[in-house]
C-alpha cells in the first residue's frame, strides 16, 4: 500500500525550553499524517463518523525520536497503513526534515474501530477499499 506525505511547519508554541520540538507534538503530527492519508484515499474521518457511525480509537502509540526539529523547520510526515482488518488498523509514520531529509522520528499507532456506543465493531465493507482490507 502506498504512503502519503503531509508537511507541517514547526510553530514556536511546539518547541520546549531547549528550542526543540516537544516530544508530544510528534504524536499530534502522526494524527495529521493519518487524516491526510485517509483524505488522499478518498475518505475523510468525518465521513466514516457521520456515514457509518464508526470511530477510530487509538489503542497504542509509539514514537522513536532520532533527531530534533526546531522552530520554523518544515517536517514531512510519511504515513502508511501497516496492517488493516475489519476490526482495526495500524499506521506507520516516518518524519523527516523537509529540506535535508534527515530522519527525525518514526512511529506507529494502532486503532480499533468503535461503533456509536463506543464498543468494538467491524468497519463496514463500503470502507474496506480505503484501508486495503481484502
Decide: 66 and 105 in contact? Cβ < 8 Å.
Answer: yes
State the Cα–Cα distance between residues 88 and 57, nearest whole angstrom.
Answer: 9
Q: 79-129, pLDDT tens digit by residue?
A: 999 999 999 999 999 999 999 999 999 999 999 999 999 999 999 998 999
Residue-level pLDDT at 1: 60
Question: Which three cell numbers, joined as nine digits, stand for 30?
Answer: 502522526
Compute CA distances 53 → 47, 56, 112, 123, whole Å. Answer: 9, 10, 13, 10
Q: 18-71, pLDDT tens digit by residue?
A: 999 999 999 999 999 999 999 999 888 888 888 889 999 999 999 999 999 999
- What domains lie within the chain, and their CATH numbers? 4-127 (3.10.129.10)
State the pTM of this model: 0.94
Query: Please, which residues have CB within 8 angstroms of residue 11's CB and are 6 or more apart in sequence?
Result: 71
61 - beta bridge partners? 109
Q: What's the angle, vertex CA 27, arms to CA 74 and CA 34, rounded to 5?
A: 80
Amino acid at each position: 500500500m502506498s504512503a502519503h506525505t503531509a508537511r507541517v511547519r514547526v510553530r514556536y508554541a511546539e518547541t520546549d525550553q531547549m528550542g526543540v520540538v516537544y516530544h508530544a507534538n510528534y504524536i499530534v503530527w502522526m494524527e495529521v499524517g493519518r487524516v491526510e492519508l485517509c483524505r488522499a484515499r478518498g475518505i475523510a474521518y468525518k465521513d466514516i463518523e457521520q456515514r457509518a457511525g464508526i470511530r477510530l480509537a487509538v489503542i497504542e502509540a509509539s514514537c522513536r525520536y532520532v533527531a530534533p526539529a526546531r522552530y520554523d523547520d518544515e517536517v514531512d510526515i510519511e504515513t502508511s497503513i501497516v496492517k488493516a482488518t475489519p476490526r482495526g488498523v495500524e499506521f506507520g509514520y516516518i518524519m523527516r526534515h523537509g529540506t535535508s531529509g534527515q530522519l527525525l522520528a518514526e512511529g506507529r499507532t494502532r486503532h480499533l474501530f468503535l461503533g456509536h456506543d463506543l464498543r468494538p465493531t467491524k468497519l463496514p465493507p463500503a470502507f474496506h477499499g480505503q484501508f486495503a482490507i481484502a
